[in-house]
A and B are shown apart, each in its own frame.
Chain A
């Protein structure tokens, strides 16, 4: 499953910026029926963690109320370059990861 981490092209030191996450996941509610009339079991990304250089930046616990292919946005700021890691797990135990390298551009302090 594809996961995207999108940040602005130019990141400045200690300047807030928005991080956008988009994950390809059906987020099955458990209420839908398949073509044969059988209930499709519930399967959502129940846990999502974003870390930056091993510090937890953002955590989410999602329910079926979040739409399919979840899109999340939060804010953070950088004081040093590093790796932004996204880790998520769904009800079936499927684990997904994505990594984005963040670099500081612009005048140094």
Chain B
């Protein structure tokens, strides 16, 4: 401001407004006020970002708990009709595929999922609501897809499935659908706190050429329109979803990548640490009694 005002000064004695012409004084003023100007710039640019205090135990929610709503409430009547009718829900084609794979044992040494876990609707009820969590053996953060692959490699002696493959989507949608009606239950403790904080910082970091953070749409402008589409709160209770845009089922990581491509940012690979940390934060963010699992969902 001082620079744009061309070093205007007011005489204390006579009140005359004039300009500081002496270049040495100008240089001195510029050097002294530069940190202040930078601080103002940083503060305004980060106005949307919340204070990331590592000391606080209870993390503040930006959207008040009474206003939390599932993404299901933002979609059109046509899609809601599709999602609520299992007969018409195209995502169920993958659930049926998953059911077949669940019961399938590829060989004697490769037991089926069912041989250990039994019927999914009983043993898997509530399981997907806790993910992502820390795997006890490796100490790493794993989501449902990673857990399926850990099971396959450790206990079923099979090759891991490719992420976003038909088989993987089938099994994850089948397991997730077993928890329908239950709220998400992602907890933050000392073990996964570092992951949580990283995910949280990613959520509030501006990204891409369009320079937007997740919060700008999903916490500051939810329920407003974006090119004819109503912006949701960005909850993850319905995943995996059948997206009309994809014309098939897709995982949460694929959807986050689609958002990243929308702001023209670098798209983290499927199953990457960044997306896992972000998924942990999103899971915590969606863990509320008002938001229940409705997998598999249908979106446009």
A and B touch in the complex (CB under 8 A): yes
Q: Report which A residues bind B (CB closer than 8 A).
A: 2, 4, 6, 20, 22-24, 26-27, 67-69, 71
CA distance A4 to B91 in the complex (A): 12
CA distance A6 to B244 in the complex (A): 22
B296 CB within 8 Å of chain A: no
Name the B residues within 8 Å of A24 (CB-CB). Answer: 93-94, 97
Contact of A22 among B93, B244, B247 (CB under 8 A): B93
A22 touches B248 (CB 8 A): no
CA distance A84 to B86 in the complex (A): 20
CA distance A14 to B171 in the complex (A): 40
CA distance A1 to B90 in the complex (A): 13
CA distance A27 to B97 in the complex (A): 19
B247 touches A68 (CB 8 A): yes
CA distance A6 to B50 in the complex (A): 50
Nearest residue (CB) in B for A25 is B93
CA distance A9 to B94 in the complex (A): 22
Name the B residues within 8 Å of A4 (CB-CB). Answer: 87, 92-93, 96
CB 8 Å contact bits of B85-126 with A (1 = contact, 0 = none): 001101011101100000000000000000000000000000
Would you list 23 pairs from A and B whose C-beta atoms are within 8 A, ordered by A residue?
A2-B94, A2-B97, A4-B87, A4-B92, A4-B93, A20-B87, A22-B87, A22-B88, A22-B90, A22-B93, A23-B93, A24-B93, A24-B97, A26-B247, A26-B248, A27-B247, A67-B244, A67-B247, A68-B247, A68-B248, A69-B90, A69-B93, A71-B88
A66 → chain B, closest Cβ, in Å?
12
Nearest residue (CB) in A for B87 is A6
CA distance A21 to B247 in the complex (A): 17
Residue of B87, B97, B248 ringed by the most chain A CB atoms within 10 A: B87
CA distance A21 to B93 in the complex (A): 11
Name the B residues within 8 Å of A6 (CB-CB). Answer: 87
CB 8 Å contact bits of B252-286 with A (1 = contact, 0 = none): 00000000000000000000000000000000000
CA distance A27 to B244 in the complex (A): 13
B248 touches A69 (CB 8 A): yes
CA distance A24 to B95 in the complex (A): 11
Nearest residue (CB) in B for A1 is B93
